[in-house]
Amino acid sequence: MSTRSNVLVTGGSGYIGSHVVLQLLLSKRYNVAVIDNSANSHPESIKRVESIAAEETGEDQKVRLFQGDLKKKADVENIFSYFEQNEDKKGITGVIHIAALKAVGESAEKPLDYYLNNIAASIQLLEVMREHNCYNFVYSSSATVYGEPPKVPIPETSPLQSESPYSRTKVFFEQMLKDIANSQPDKWRIISLRYFNPAGAHPSGKIGEDPLGKPNNLLPLLAQISVGRSYGQLKVFGNDYPTYDGTCVRDYIHVMDLAAGHMNALDALDRDEIFHDVGPGKAKAYNLGTGQGQSVLTMIESMREASGFDYQYQIVERRAGDVPNLTADPALAQKELGFKTVRDLKQMCQDTVRWQKGNPNGYRN
């Protein structure tokens, strides 16, 4: 009989989700199920994850991929029921909830879509978990919950400020998770992970970021430009910020380090001591970042070195809502979760370029 736990990853065929699923398979400690509606992802990523895991572990591990929508309760019910009736009948023991809409600008144009997907559907997921006695929950939050922070690097104690519908969904859901944990302190164990700026790709070049349409994030935009995708003039929004070169600074974390952080969180849920300073319920938030901020111009230069592409850019006016510096203080996650980043900026850019050159059209090659 298998001793592996059954874990459900929502949004598991997306950029971050696929790397998290791979990390779980590489540990050889979990049976992994994925639910994804493929709205912002491609199921091909899961096939490639299985291939990489087989090469690296010598085991043929299969992911149970369920095409479904979290907004449809029956789709979620089906997964929990399947694992109660099959796979040693142990049921789902933990959930890593990554699925979400995540574009700040789009959230201002389509707030209802964001509240439906990021809050209503997530509440429904928690309902199904409770009905099936599954109380271990790792939640993908975001550094956008800090707004424009009073202190950098940013500790978890920094006040939460939501400046877009997207960030409001993250702030509200984090607070809701605390309420739920407090209502059943002997059951729920919840960790929220506040991502800074995920970037990079698995070093094999087989999986990586494949945004639909023009990328919202800097690194995939630079990567696509380097392989001939045209999005017009590359613009740098403002060079008069109070940062080391005047452009916005962000904390870029390699997606494989971020994925490892999810494993750290999942493993930590059983440890009562990490919840000693919260209560009465067991719900806590951690930053996942490097603690090192990189400017827009630094990222362009790093991608120039990695790709050999001579980027031409134009300095334009500041973009409304851009915060000068979002750099994590990752000390709490390092101390309590055993989290650490091991991949540097150079590797992040090299892995990004390797993925994009090998897959110029993403998973649609």
Of 299, 357, 356, 365, nearest to 15 (Cα)? 356
Does the annotation count 30 as an active-site position?
Answer: no
Residue from 120, 36, 131 nearest 80 by CA: 131
3-state secondary structure of 349: helix
Kindly list the distances between the CA atom of residue 103 and the CA atoms of 83, 160, 164, 211, 362, in Å, as whole numbers in the listed order: 33, 19, 10, 11, 19
E strand or H helix that includes residue 265? helix 255-268
3-class state of residue 227 by DSSP: coil
Beta bridge partners of 38: none
Structure tokens at 249: 């600074």
Alpha-carbon span 17 to 8, nearest angstrom: 11
Distance CA 63, CA 47 (A): 9
Which entry of 30, 146, 166, 195 is annotated as an active-site residue?
A: 166
- Write out the two tokens for 164: 């877009």
The residues annotated as belonging to the active site are: 166
